[in-house]
A = this chain, B = another copy of it.
Amino acid sequence: MKMSSSSNSTCAACKFLHPKGTQECVFASYFPPDQPAKFASVHKVFGASNVAKIFNELSTSRREDTVHTLAYEADVRLGDLVYGCVGIISSLLQEIELAQTKAEIALLGAAQLVDPFIYNEQK
């Protein structure tokens, strides 16, 4: 299988899955031959056949973004087998909660400075 571009290099997916194949590869434009680790991660976590099924449900213009997010998600999962991206989401939610609490505390402090009498009355 050759890259769909003018290059004669087999893509990273073909090198990995079927190095002697000859038909056009659906992954050729998205997994360049010089990035074999990118395909290996995606294949290890999602499986090439599942990615091909996702591709089939998308227009070609949306496949590049999809490959980027799948590659990111796969790398995160391989780095954290238990939580993957859900671990990042959980951390960010905690960060938001912390930022909101800090802002509230700062604003309460500022309100007390502006008018301690009113502030204490309202309390």
Contact = CB atoms under 8 A, between A and B. Distances in A.
Assembly of this chain: how many copies? Answer: 2
For the residues of A in contact with B, the DSSP-based class is: helix
A46 B49 CA distance: 10
A118 interface: no
Interface string A58-75: 100010011011101100
Interface residues of A, number: 42
Given A46-B45, A73-B73, A103-B102, A66 B81 contact: yes
A4 B96 CA distance: 41
A1 to B, nearest CB: 21
A96 to B, nearest CB: 6
Interface in A58-109: 58, 62, 65-66, 68-70, 72-73, 77, 81-89, 92-93, 95-96, 99-100, 102-103, 106-107
17 contacts: A45-B46, A46-B47, A54-B77, A66-B81, A69-B82, A72-B86, A84-B85, A88-B89, A89-B89, A92-B92, A95-B96, A99-B100, A99-B103, A103-B103, A106-B106, A106-B107, A113-B114
